Structure 1
Amino acid sequence: MAQDKPFGWGIMGTGAIAGLFAADLDLPLQARIVAAHSRSLEKAQSFVARFDGAKAYDDEAAFLADPAIEAVYIATPNHLHAAQALKAIAAGKPVLIEKPIALASADVEAIAQAAGERGVFAMEALWSRFLPAARRAREQISAGRIGAIRRIRADLSYLHPEEPGSRFYDPALGGGAAFDLGVYPLSLALHLLGEPQAVRGSWLAAGTGVDRRSSFRLDYPTAVAELSCGFDRNGANRLLIEGEAGGLILEAPFLKVQRLSWYVDADKAVAAYDRGPGRLARLLDRLPQSGRLSESFAFPGNGLQFQAQAVMAAVRAGKSASAQMLLGESAAVLRIIEAVRAGPAGAA
Structure 2
Amino acid sequence: MRSEGESSVAQERPFGWGIMGTGTIAGLFAADLGLLPQARLAAVHSRLLAKAQGFAARFGGGAAYGDEAAFLADPAIEAVYIATPNQFHAAQALRAIAAGKPVLVEKPAALRSGDVEAIAQAARERGVFAMEALWSRFLPAVRAIREQIATGRIGEVKRIRADLSYAHPQEPGSRFFDPALGGGAAFDLGVYPLSLTLHLLGEPLAVGGCWVAAATGVDLRSEFRLAYPDAVAELSCGFDRNGTNRFLVTGTRGALTLEAPFLKAQRLSFDADAGRAMAAYGRGRGFAPRLLDRLPRPGRSSEVFAFPGNGLQFQAQAVMAAVRAGETSCATMPLAGSAAVLRIIESMLAQPSADGVDQKRDRSR
TM-score by length of 2: 0.94
Residue 279 of structure 1: how far off its partner (Å): 3.2
The reply on whether 1:92 has 2:100 as its aligned counterpart is yes
Structure 2 distance, partners of 1:101, 1:59, is: 22
- Structure 1 window deviating more from structure 2 (22-31 vs 101-110): it is 22-31
1 CA distance for matches of 2:32 and 2:288?
34
1:244 deviation in Å?
A: 1.2
Q: Which residue of 1 aligns with 2:232?
A: 224
Residue 42 of structure 2 is matched in structure 1 by 34
Match of 1:140 in 2: 148
**Preserved contact between residue 36 and residue 313 of structure 2 (Cα < 8 Å):** no
Aligned positions of 1:85-234 closer than 5 A:
85-234=93-242
1:340 matched to 2:341: no
Residue in structure 1 matching 2:260, options 231, 243, 252: 252
Structure 1 spans left out of the alignment, 5+ residues:
none
Residue in 1 aligned with 2:276? 268
1:68, distance to aligned residue in structure 2 (A) = 0.1
Identity percentage of aligned residues:
75
Deviations 1:129-165 (A, max 9, x none): 0001100111111111111210000110001000011
Per-residue deviation, 1:28? 3.1
Measured in 2, the distance between the counterparts of 1:338 and 1:51 equals: 37
3-state DSSP of counterpart to 1:168 = coil
Which letter does structure 2 place at the counterpart of 1:237? N
SS at match of 1:169: coil
Tell me, in whole angstroms, the C-alpha distance in 2 between the residues paired with 1:292 and 1:99.
34
The partner residue of 2:33 within 25, 28, 32 is: 25
Aligned partner of 1:316 among 301, 321, 324: 324
- Mapped to 1, the partners of 2:179 and 2:229 lie a distance apart of 35
Kindly indicate whether the alpha-carbon contact (under 8 Å) linking 1:236 and 1:252 is maintained by their aligned counterparts in 2. Answer: yes
Amino acid in structure 2 at the alignment position of 1:135: R
How far the C-alpha of 1:245 sits from its partner, in A, is: 1.1
| Equivalent residue letter for 2:82 | I
Q: Secondary structure at the match of 1:49?
A: helix
Query: Could you say what the CA RMSD is over the residues aligned between the two structures, in angstroms?
Result: 1.1
Q: What's the CA shift string for 1:144-197, capped at 9, x where partnerless?
A: 111121000011000100001100001100000000000000000000010000
Deviations 1:75-129 (A, max 9, x none): 0000000000000111110000000110000000000110111111000000000
SS in 1 for 2:58: coil
Contact 1:202/1:347 (8 A) holds in 2: no
1:50 aligned residue (36, 58, 68)? 58
Q: SS of the residue aligned with 1:10?
A: strand
CA distance in 2, matches of 1:220, 1:285: 29
Q: Indicate the larger mover: 172-181 or 42-51.
A: 42-51
Structure 1 length as normaliser, TM-score?
A: 0.98
Cα distance in 2 for partners of 1:53, 1:14 equals 14
Runs of 4+ in 1 over 2 A off after TM superposition: 50-53, 274-280
Say yes or no: does 1:62 pair with 2:62.
no
Which residue identity does 2:155 align to in structure 1? G
* Runs of 5+ unmatched residues, structure 2: 1-6, 357-365
C-alpha contact (below 8 Å) 1:29/1:309 kept by paired residues: no
Deviation, 1:29, is: 3.7
